[in-house]
Each structure stands twice: as C-alpha cells, then as structure tokens.
Structure 1
Amino acid sequence: MRAVLRTVNRVLLALVGLVLLAVGGAVLAVGFGAQSPSWWIHQGRHDVLLSTAERTRWRGEDWWWPVVIAALAVLVLLALWWLVAVLRRRRLREVLVDTGDGAGATLRGRALEHALGADAAGLDGVAHARAHLRGRRTAPEARLRLRTEPHVDPGTTLRDLADGPLAHARDAAALPALPAEVRLRAVSHKAERVT
C-alpha cells in the first residue's frame, strides 16, 4: 500500500510540475513576443492576466468575497495536508515474524516500539528512552532517542543497548538483523544553591 501511495504522490507531483512548467513557459514566451494561439489567455506582449472589468465584475456581490476566501482557505489546508503527508516520517505498523512453520505471524509495530523503549529505559544511566520503527515489515529499522545521565559513558551505553534491548527485540521478532540509529542526549540538571 505504501508503494502505491508513493507512486501516486510522485505521479501527482510530476503532473503538477509539468502543468506549472508549461503554463509558466508559455506566459514567458508570450511575454518575450512569441505568437500565441487563438485559444490562449494572453493575446500579446502587453496583455494583462485579468482586465479591470474582469477584476471588478463580482465585487458588488455579497457572496463573492466569502466564496473566494473559503476556496483559498481550502486550497491552503489541502496544500498543508499534502506537505505534512509527504514530510511525515512513516512508522512501521507491523513486523512479520517468521515462526518457523511456514505460516508466520505479525507483531504490532507499536508493541515492539513500546517494549524496546521500556527495555532501553531500564539500562543503567538512561533517564528516558523512545523507540520508533521504520523500514519494511520484513526488515525493520529502529530509531532510538535516549536521554542519559551526565555521568554515563556513551560507548558503554551503546554497547549495553546493542547487547540488551536491541538483541532482545531482534530475538523476540525472529529477525535476522535489527539495524538501529541511536541518538544520545545528556540530561541537564539545574544548579542548586547549597546553604
């Protein structure tokens, strides 16, 4: 399903880009003096996009401006929704588990994220941990964000994470590998006055 959405998104972006490129190029060509076809909106180099009569035609109607504002608001909201949908990082909904009998099973991605995060938060010196799964359901990838105490050695924490929570998650889901990207951030404590 994700591949279909990605393909549709790319096709729509390509079509919108081609239409904008064609219209912009045609307007630019007419502006530089090229001959325009009879059906084109601009008839010459000094022609305007909207004449004064066209701009002021509906100005006196009560319904005109609310309709224009509502239509523009809907276009802006649709554009923002599309932008968020394109930029949003996709989470893995499920992981395919090989049970060994040929049938297989699925594991909810959020359940594995929660277990991995809770297991990582239990490591020595880790104050908070969050895990996200990405990739394909047969080959997931983990992204972890850890907040560590200031005294913790990052190398030791990464080694403990690889040997503990990541190994447990990989074994629990019967995965051949579970690549992970880990971001560490030290917890900052405010200085307190001692009296």
Structure 2
Amino acid sequence: MLHIVNRVLIGLAGLVLLGVGGAALAAGLDLDVPSWWPWRGPGDVLVSEADRRRWRAEDWWWPVVIAVLAVVVLLAVWWLVAQLRRPRLAEVLVESGDGEGALLRGRALESVLAGEAEDLEGVARAKVVLRGRRNAPAARVRLLLEPHASPGEALDHLASEALARARDSAGLTALPAEVRLRAEKHRAKRVL
C-alpha cells in the first residue's frame, strides 16, 4: 500500500511542478501564451500586490491558511514516519547452542515458508511476510486456495507442517501466524 501512495504522491507533485514550471518558463521566454495563462511576459510577477492584499481583511483567511499548512505538515510527518518504518523483519535470531546465536535472513525464511506452503495440497500460491522482533518473529501468511481445496484442511496442514518445521528449524519457542485465505477464481464446469 505504501508504495502505491508513494507513486501517487510523487506523480502528483511532478505534475504540479511541471505545470507551474512550464507556465513560468513560457512567460519568461515571452512566448505567445493564451489569454487564460497566469503570466503574460518576463516582467510579470507570480502573485501581484493586489492579490496578496485581497484576502488579508477577511476573518476566515488566516485560520484557513494555518489549517491547510497544519494538514500539509501532518501529512508530511506521516509520510516520513511511514518511510522509516520497516514493514518486514530483516533477520531472525536462531539459537545455535553456544549462547550467542546466529542470524538468519528474514527473506530466506519467508521464501522457505512460502515454498513449503505452496507444496501443501490445495494451495495454489502462498506469500509470507515476517514481522515483529528478531528473537520473536510473527508470520503473516496469505494463501490462494485452489477451487477444490478445503480451507480447514489447508490451515491445519500449514500449522502442523510448514509453520512447525520453520519454528523447529529456527529454534523458536513460538511462531505465531496470521493466515488469510482466498479462493482462486474459476469458471463453472458445464454439465452436458
């Protein structure tokens, strides 16, 4: 979701900057611009003195300006915090028996878990994301089930086989998982 928001925000900012920059460049180069164009020529200013003074006497002007700027600042802070937050677990601490432990890449464990989940009967595709702390990871699993699959059986097999093997091989005391199941779309079979 965050990458979609990033692309939309960057695209909108780019379009706004391109439009304003193009309008200012056309006026600065004294090109023949249409009558509705915001600037007419190289001597024109971006905001005239009359425009700057027009709204100052209105009672609603400054509260609206401050509210809009506050919303922009809050959105910018939210976007920055969302960028700095790590959505995935980079590494898992595996107990090696020597007291120090070893580090296992989170993506490696995710791909192994996804591969084992896809090998289960009735599972068409699987996606696994590890979250949490490196000494107490949690898995978020998404399974795409085949049309004939039983959701209960697929969930039981996932918990007793794939998740249990991952938990035991990493030496974890627990590996909680949030599993989301979705059925694969298929066409109805015709009976003649």
TM-score > 0.5, shorter chain as reference: yes
Cα separation, 2, equivalents of 1:155 and 1:194: 28
Cα shift at 1:190: 2.7
- For residue 83 of structure 2, what is the aligned residue in structure 1? 85
Aligned pairs for 1:37-116 within 5 A: 52=49, 55=52, 79=76, 81-82=79-80, 84-85=82-83, 90-116=87-113
Cα shift at 1:134: 0.1
- Aligned CA RMSD, in angstroms, stands at 3.0
Gaps of 5+ in 2: 1-47, 54-68
Instruction: Give the secondary structure class of the aligned counterpart of 1:174.
Output: coil
Cα shift at 1:163: 0.8
Q: Over residues 60-117 of structure 1, what are the superposed CA-to-partner deviations in whole Å (9 max), with x where a residue is unaligned?
A: xxxxxxxxxxxx9xx89x928426427x661000000111111210000000000000
TM-score normalised over the length of structure 2: 0.58
Say if 1:126 and 1:89 are closer, same or farther in 2 by CA, change over 3 A: farther
TM-score normalised over the length of structure 1: 0.57
- For residue 124 of structure 1, what is the aligned residue in structure 2? 121
Gaps of 5+ in 1: 1-50, 57-71
Say if 1:157 and 1:193 are closer, same or farther in 2 by CA, change over 3 A: closer
- For residue 150 of structure 2, what is the aligned residue in structure 1? 153
2:132 to 130, 135, 138: 135
Identity %: 59
Instruction: Give the secondary structure class of the aligned counterpart of 1:164.
Output: helix
